[in-house]
């Protein structure tokens, strides 16, 4: 079975831009290329898992979001990082502007649907995997899937929880907390 590191996008891999709707807004955070290379060298698959309510709000289409992620892959490679092995997106929101995205899905973090879908597709052993995120919803999704979790304390970890169908358990505790992706990767490399 394979091992993976699940990574939230905004605040972990890229700068957290409120309502990112264009590829021009993408900015890789410092240390990301080397951190991703270190994970890949350790034998982990790199899987991006991200809630993207900009689709549910009608600000961009799923096709436009795919183009943003294609640009992200190109930016990673240009910076010397390995590309993501997979990108998993939840476009839904409980109060979506567009009715077709207003569903109680299993993929919106803190639910673990994105991680479980990836586990089936990549034959992952989830207890051997890690989830890195900057919000309690990322940590809850990782814990629900059976992964070890790392909270990157960017400031968003202190923000109110995102809107979800059911209440988020604010008492969820990560296995590790640190300042950035580089520190998260060092802990993962030691913990494996």
Q: Which residues are catalytic?
A: 8, 10
Show the CA angle centred on residue 11, arms to residues 117 and 189, nearest 5°. 70
Q: Measured between alpha carbons, how far is 106 from 104 in angstroms, rounded to an integer?
A: 7
Neighbours of 1 (CB within 10 A): 11
The answer to whether the CB of 7 falls within 8 A of the CB of 46 is: yes
The answer to whether the CB of 24 falls within 8 A of the CB of 165 is: no
The answer to whether the CB of 102 falls within 8 A of the CB of 95 is: yes
Rounded to the nearest 10 degrees, the angle between the axes of helix 32-41 and helix 62-78 is 80
Task: For residue 192, give the nearest of 43, 27, 17, 12 by alpha carbon.
Answer: 43
Rounded to the nearest 10 degrees, the angle between the axes of helix 32-41 and helix 181-191 is 20
* 67: its two tokens: 């183009």
Neighbours of 110 (CB within 10 A): 25
């Amino acid at each position: 079975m394979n091992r993976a590191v699940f990574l939230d996008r905004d605040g972990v891999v890229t700068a957290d831009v409120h309502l990112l709707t264009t590829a021009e807004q993408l900015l890789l955070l410092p240390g990301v290329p080397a951190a991703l290379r270190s994970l890949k060298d350790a034998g982990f698959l790199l899987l991006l898992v991200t809630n993207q309510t900009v689709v549910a709000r009608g600000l961009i289409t799923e096709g436009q979001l795919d183009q943003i992620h294609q640009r992200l892959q190109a930016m990673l490679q240009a910076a010397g990082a390995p590309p993501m092995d997979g990108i998993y997106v939840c476009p839904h929101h409980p109060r979506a502007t567009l009715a077709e995205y207003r569903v109680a899905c299993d993929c919106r973090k803190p639910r673990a649907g994105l991680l479980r879908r990836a586990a089936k597709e990549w034959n992952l052993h989830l207890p051997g995997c890690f989830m890195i995120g900057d919000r309690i919803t990322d940590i809850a999704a990782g814990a629900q899937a059976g992964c070890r979790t790392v909270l990157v304390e960017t400031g968003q970890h202190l923000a109110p929880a995102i809107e979800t169908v059911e209440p988020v358990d604010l008492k969820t505790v990560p296995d590790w907390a640190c300042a950035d992706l580089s520190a998260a990767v060092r802990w993962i490399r030691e913990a494996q």
